[in-house]
């Protein structure tokens, strides 16, 4: 690994705003979980954010690591879909759910079914202007639902969205091939769960009740302070700000 790349600051533009990242900034402000990330994992996260123009300070990407598991680089579904839809060849989509209705497997458009239907999975079709046929993907519910609260309360909506993400990646592999959402990660931690982990870490360090995750404006205020500061020295875990 190139240590110079890991330590130097990288500045890139996202939606007209400059984002400054370095190994020290990422380790100090942008890592969640209970295990320490390696320089290589930090560098991979930095390069992905730069290449895909993701702003991790606005929760467009997460770097998460728990003991016994490799670090996971997770992209928010909103950021993923915005970049897919911005592709010049993107020409719309159709998506829905797959159900078992009286022993027959049926593809339904949207995210609504009859009460007697058994949910089996989701499907999506992505249309490109430069291709005659759409990219079609069908996925199984059992491969993606890990029993999280969101999947229990909104299984139809979740499996439909996950099918869309998978189809978009197949339709635009050059743009989205290295990006994965929380449902596709190897860990069981989803975006809402990550925010809970951050809250618990802050509460433990501050010896206080769990507080709310800061708003985007509060996060950007902290980010701007970081940009205007010189490169930080060795990391002092006790000095992490509330949004660490």
Full residue range of the structural domain in which residue 138 is found: 83-177
Total number of domains constituting the chain: 2
Q: Do both 150 and 100 map to the same domain?
A: yes
Of 177, 201, 220, the domain-final residue: 177
pLDDT of 243 = 44
Q: Is residue 244 one of the residues assigned to a domain?
A: no
Residue 204: is its pLDDT beyond 80? no
Instruction: State pLDDT tens for residues 121-180.
Output: 999 999 999 999 999 999 999 988 877 778 889 999 999 999 999 999 999 988 887 777
212 or 78: which leads in pLDDT: 78
Q: Do both 118 and 72 map to the same domain?
A: no
pLDDT of 171 = 93
CB-based contact 126:93 (threshold 8 Å):
yes
Q: pLDDT band at residue 111, thresholds of 50, 70 and 90?
A: very high
Residue 218: is its pLDDT beyond 80? no
Q: Do both 96 and 172 map to the same domain?
A: yes
3-class SS of residue 15: coil
Q: Is residue 164 one of the residues assigned to a domain?
A: yes
Rounded to the nearest integer, the mean pLDDT of the chain is 78
Rounded to a whole number of angstroms, the distance between the first and last alpha carbons of the chain is 26
Q: Do both 90 and 157 map to the same domain?
A: yes
DSSP state of 109: E
Q: Do both 234 and 154 map to the same domain?
A: no
CB-based contact 14:53 (threshold 8 Å):
yes
Q: Is residue 111 one of the residues assigned to a domain?
A: yes
State the DSSP string of 201-214.
HHHHHHTS---PPP
Residue 227: is its pLDDT beyond 70? no
Q: pLDDT band at residue 1, thresholds of 50, 70 and 90?
A: very low
Q: Do both 200 and 152 map to the same domain?
A: no
Q: pLDDT band at residue 217, thresholds of 50, 70 and 90?
A: low
Of 177, 201, 230, the domain-final residue: 177
Q: Which residues are within 8 A (CB) of 77 and not within 5 positions of it... i.e. 6 or more apart?
A: 161, 165, 181, 182, 191
């Amino acid at each position: 690994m190139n240590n110079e790349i890991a330590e130097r600051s990288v500045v890139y533009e996202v939606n007209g705003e400059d984002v400054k990242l370095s190994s020290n900034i990422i380790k100090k402000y942008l890592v969640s979980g209970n295990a320490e990330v390696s320089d290589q994992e930090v560098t991979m996260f930095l390069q992905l954010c730069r290449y895909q123009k993701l702003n991790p300070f606005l929760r467009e990407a997460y770097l998460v690591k728990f003991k016994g598991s490799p670090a996971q680089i997770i992209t928010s579904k909103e950021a993923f879909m915005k970049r897919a839809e911005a592709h010049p060849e993107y020409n719309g989509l159709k998506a829905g759910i797959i159900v078992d209705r009286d022993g027959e497997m049926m593809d339904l458009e949207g995210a609504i079914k009859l009460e007697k239907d058994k949910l089996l999975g989701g499907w999506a079709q992505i249309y490109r202007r430069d291709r005659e046929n759409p990219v079609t993907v069908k996925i199984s519910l059992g491969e993606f639902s890990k029993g999280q609260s969101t999947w229990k309360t909104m299984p139809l909506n979740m499996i439909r969205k996950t099918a869309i993400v998978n189809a978009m990646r197949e339709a635009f592999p050059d743009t989205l091939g290295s990006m994965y959402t929380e449902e596709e990660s190897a860990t069981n931690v989803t975006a809402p769960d990550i925010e809970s982990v951050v809250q618990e870490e802050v509460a433990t360090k501050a010896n206080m009740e769990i507080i709310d995750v800061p708003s985007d404006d509060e996060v950007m205020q902290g980010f701007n302070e970081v940009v205007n500061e010189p490169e930080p020295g060795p990391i002092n875990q006790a000095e992490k700000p509330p949004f660490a």
